[in-house]
Amino acid sequence: MTAIVAGQSNKRCSMVAGTTQVCNGTYGNNGWLGLASINITGGVHITQGSAKMNDTYFNTATYNNPNEKRHVMCQEVAHTFGLDHQSTDGSSQNSCMDYFSNTGANATSTLSTRPNKHDFDELNTIYAHLDSTTTVSQATAASARRPTSISTTIRIVGASW
Q: Which amino acid is at 138?
A: Q
Half-sphere exposure of 77 (CA within 13 A, CB side): 23
Tens of pLDDT along 8-46? 767 788 888 888 999 999 999 999 999 999 999 887 789
- pLDDT-derived band at 126, boundaries 50, 70, 90: confident
Domain positions in the chain are: 2-157
pLDDT at 151: 43
Q: What is the dihedral of CA 125, 126, 128, 134, to 10 degrees?
A: 170
pLDDT at 128: 81
> For residues 127 and 141, is the Cβ–Cβ distance under 8 A?
no
Tens of pLDDT along 58-116? 999 999 999 999 999 999 999 999 999 999 998 889 999 999 999 999 999 998 999 99
pLDDT at 149: 35
Q: Which residues pair with 25 in a beta bridge?
A: 54
pLDDT at 132: 62
CA distance 15 to 80: 11
Beta strands 19-25 and 152-157 are parallel
- 2-157: CATH number: 3.40.390
Give the helix/strand (H/E) hosting 126. helix 117-127
The distance from CA 125 to its chain's CA centroid, rounded to whole angstroms, is: 17
- Nearest residue to 150 via CA among 126, 132, 131, 130: 126
Give the helix/strand (H/E) hosting 23. strand 19-25
